[in-house]
Every structure is written in structure tokens, then in C-alpha cells.
Amino acid sequence: MFMTKEPENEKINNPRATVRLPMLLGITLAAGVLIGATFFGGGKSLNNIGRGYSKFKEVLQLIENNYVDSVNTEELVDYSISKMLEKLDPHTTYMNPQDAVAARTQLEGGFDGIGVEFNIYKDTVYVVTPMAGGPSEHAGILSGDKIIKVDNTEMTGSKLDNALVFKMLRGKKGTEVKLAILRKGEKKPLTFTVRRDRIPTYSVDASYMIDDKTGYIKVNRFSETTYDEFKKALALLKEQGMSQLLLDLRNNPGGYMDKATSLADEFISGDKLLVYTDGKDDRYDRQTKARIAGQFEDGPLIVLVDEGSASASEIVAGALQDHDRALIVGRRSFGKGLVQMPVTLSDGSELRLTISRYYTPSGRSIQKPYTAGHGEDYEKELEARSKNGEYYVADSIKNNEKYKFKTTGGRPVFGAGGITPDVFVPRDTMFMTKYLIQLFNKNIVREQAMEYANDHRKQLEKDGFASYKKSFVITDAMLKRLTDDATAQGIKFNEAEFKRSKKYIQTQLKAYIAQNVWRKSHRDGLNNEFFEMLSENDETYRKALTLFPQARNLERGSYTSQK
């Protein structure tokens, strides 16, 4: 969702993936603050609110005192609020205190815990890697360790899930947790006492040089630390000779508006408009303009987007597109252009109330159409794009001429439905099979990669990543071991589907092996080796690398549209 935290510090946030939009992965939510009663306005509206409140209170008291069965009135209140908000737009939402706390942590700069990346495999918690410099690494936890007990709670069995692992491993900084560990080569469990600490989270996934002039940066969300991470990454790439940049915002669901506009400001010169908002109450109407001398205001720039790019990501892409500063490549973005005010209620629950719309510099609202009270239709819009062929054929994107605008250089752009890319790249789904989905649901690919990395770590580290990237091959023997393991886990082998997915499985295995071996060398959270390996089978990435001449022409004002 696009959200404001304080009037002078606007923020954006994305749709609720797990509740509202299951097709969006890893959706994040912004932090809220207490807003006083004056937020709700004057006398007439207060009278209306008062009458409605009295009626609701009366009904609730009748249920509590007279209903035939015992009821949980708190659950009834939460349900009533949620149902009431369904009559509004799709992004006005309510969360109970527990969900509100969990959601806010997504965009904070870190959390308190023991600092491990874990994987659940065969109903067991495996340590993928202890985070560099974190409590677990200091305590001696190793990649491949099995966590079988946390304090007095067993961490095995069919009831094991991510929620339980988070509950047991996270906790207040300074508190201790006792782990029972099974380690390869040890006959008996080992016991470790780990003191929880603040674990930083990162939003820049990768930052590396593709060649001697082309840089690549991937941003997964816009959190508290995003702009600082991005500035550091950009500066380091420039030191390495970068003269053109590929910025990857695919599957970035949004986050804080001020971080998004600050990032855009690194590319846009002068005091050009970046975004503006407009609502019923003019207190929430404001303009955000470029204000600094950015690090990369000159040079070809390409931005990757797709249907998972929402909210703050669309702010960045829209500003750069409207000012003809970047070539937008990929597929049409999500289409989230509503602004929410987060209101923390007295019990810690949170209301996120839509208060305005935001517009790109050309005047576009990129909010896709919706009908109040018809949330199910809104949720199915991404599915409808797939059925209409939009993910596969550029001409399937149907922009409404009514919402046609022009960029600074006179190019046509469209609103009311996300950011339409300048160059369309279809989604590749040929590799997607039921067999592949089962492999990932059981975490078999990641587990096989971790086992191989642990068994061959010394040799791989000795050879170095450059050699690994150029020469390492996922052999048929390695794939046979994977499919045998899958069969043992109850996944019936399907030869035809395996052949369709084989290249993708090989790419994923090679990427995860690289991640297991080299990620710990990055103390700034970067996962460069993983994304470098994925890029070998990434059609959008590969296509974008051929488009820098067009990006250069766009920057010079001589761009000719190409599909």
C-alpha cells in the first residue's frame, strides 16, 4: 500500500499479498503511528459517527448479554470492521494487533533474533547459513545443522512451519535461547546457547558489474534502509567504471515513499517533479520534487518491472519514464496508486485508510480500475491478465486512450492500470510443471544445493566464483540424486515434465550452490552470486542488455519506440 506516516513524511506501501493478493509474493507493509481524534474532522461527521457507534454498541451489548451461546466479542468486532471496510477501496484495511506488529517488521531495518537463514525439509529445520557477524555465527552454528529443539520445544514433525520457527528463534535483544543441534559427523546432539541480537535486514539483493561498463542493482522493497543501501551500491559500481545501469524492480511490492523518491532523485536532475498526491482533504495534497545532485543523472538507464512491481516501485518507474530518463522493460506493473494513512488504535491494532491518490509527473494515476465492495474481482485481476494473454503477447495490453498522457519528450504513456513498459518481454512459463512445483514445495532443490555446497565447499572456494560461473556444470548424476530424493519424499517422477523443467532446475541448483558457498562473504546482505547465476536463464535480463543503445537514444531525446 501507498501510505503516509506523518504529513511531512509520506510513505507508500503495497497490497496485502497473503490476504488480498496471493499472486504477489513477499508483499510488505509500512509502519503506523497514532493519529489524534482531530484527524476525523468536524461536527456534522462526528454526529453521524456518534449515531453509528451507538447503534453498533447497542447490538454488541445485546449479543454479549442475551445471545444463546458464548461468543468472543473481540472477534466479532474485528470481523465487523473488516466487513465494513470491504465496502471501500481494495487497499483500506484493518489488522489485529498481532498482524500489525508482524506487518510493520517487514519494512523495519532489522529484527531481534539469532540470525540464521533456515529451510524446512523433511519436517526438520535446516540451517541454510548463519548470517555473517550474527549471534549464530559467533556461537558456532554451521550451514547444514539441523535444529531439533529450541529451549523445550521440539522442532520436528508435521506441525512444524515457518510461523513456529519465527516464534521460537526471534525474541528480545539480549535474551538467550538454547538450541539442540544435530550435525553431520556427530553421533549425539550438540547444545548451543545463543544470545539474541539485532539482525539487520537488507533490501538491495544484488549489486555487481555485468561487464566493464554495465552495472546491475536489484531492490526487493523500499524499507527504512533502502536508500542508504542503494547509494552505497551505486557509488561502488561507479568506482568500478559503471557508465550504464540496469535497475531491477521486478516483484518489488513497494514500501516507503520517501525512500522511493530519494532513489529516483539519484537519476533525475534539477527540481523536476517526481510525484504528487491529491485527496478530498487538501492536508494530504503535496508535491515531491528532485532536490539533490544525484550520482547517476547522466548515462543510459534501464528499469525492469513486471506485474509484481507495485506502489513505490511504480513511483520510481513512473517518474523515470515520464521524464524520459529510463527505458522501462518487462511487463505491465501492478497498478497501485492509492495513498493510505496508518492509524494505530488503542489496542495496538491498525487501520490503513485511503486518503488520496498519487500521480506521476505527467499527471497519470496508475491505479487500476476497481469497484468498491467487489474485492474478489480486484484480487483476480492479475489472473485475468494471464487469461487474456497479456503476459505473453504485447498487443494484449489494452490501454484506454482516455488515460493517455505524454512524457517530457512527447512520448505517449498511459494511466489507470500500472506502468506499461516501453519494451515488452513475455513471461517464460514453458519450464513450469507440476513436478517442478512439487520439488519446490518440498524444498528439495535448495536442500540438494546446500548438501552439495557443504560437501565441496573447500574446493569451490579454492577455485573461486569466476571459475565456478564459467565452468561448473550441473551433471546428470547430480540431477539423478535430486530426483531420487524427490521420489523418496513421495513425489512421483514424471519424465516428460522433468525434461521441460530440466534447464530451470539446473539453473536454480547452480544459483543456490553459489549462494551457499559465497553469500557469507558479503556483510552487507548482498546475494550477488545467486542472482548472477539466475541471470543466465532470465530472458528479461538478457533482452535488457541488448537495449542500452535505445536507452542512450532516449536520454538524448531521439528514442524510437520498439517492441
Q: By mean pLDDT, which of 102-116, 306-320, 366-380, 433-447 is the weakest? A: 102-116
Q: By mean pLDDT, which of 253-267, 327-341, 368-382, 470-484 is the weakest? A: 368-382
336 is catalytic: yes
Amino acid identity of residue 452, one-letter, is Y
Distance CA 230, CA 228 (A): 5
Distance CA 368, CA 415 (A): 8
pLDDT of residue 108: 82
Average pLDDT value for residue range 306-321: 96
Cell numbers describing residue 301: 538507464
> Catalytic one among 311, 313, 349, 356?
311
**Per-residue burial over 308-324, b = 16 or more CB atoms within 10 Å of its CB, e = otherwise:** bbbbbbbbbbbbbbbbb
DSSP strand pairing (286-289 vs 273-279): antiparallel
311 is catalytic: yes
Number of Cα atoms under 13 Å in the Cβ half of residue 232:
14
**0.75 cut: is pTM over it?**
yes
Structural domains present in the chain: 110-200 (2.30.42.10), 204-341+354-427 (3.90.226.10), 434-540 (no CATH)
Cα dist from 419 to 245, 385, 426, whole Å = 20, 14, 15
> Catalytic one among 5, 218, 336, 442?
336
483-537, pLDDT tens digit by residue?
999 999 999 999 999 999 999 999 999 999 999 999 988 888 999 999 999 999 9
- pLDDT of 100 strictly over 60: yes
Q: Over the chain, what is the mean pLDDT? A: 89
Distance CA 126, CA 148 (A): 9
258 is catalytic: no
13-61, pLDDT tens digit by residue?
443 333 333 222 222 223 222 233 334 445 556 677 888 889 999 999 9
**Per-residue burial over 507-538, b = 16 or more CB atoms within 10 Å of its CB, e = otherwise:** bbbbbbbbbbbbbeeeeebbbbbbbbbbbebb
Contact indicator for 112, 100 with CB cutoff of 8 Å: no
- pLDDT of 373 strictly over 90: no
> Catalytic one among 197, 322, 422, 485?
322
**45 CB-contact burial (10 Å; exposed 0-12 / middle 13-18 / buried 19+):** exposed
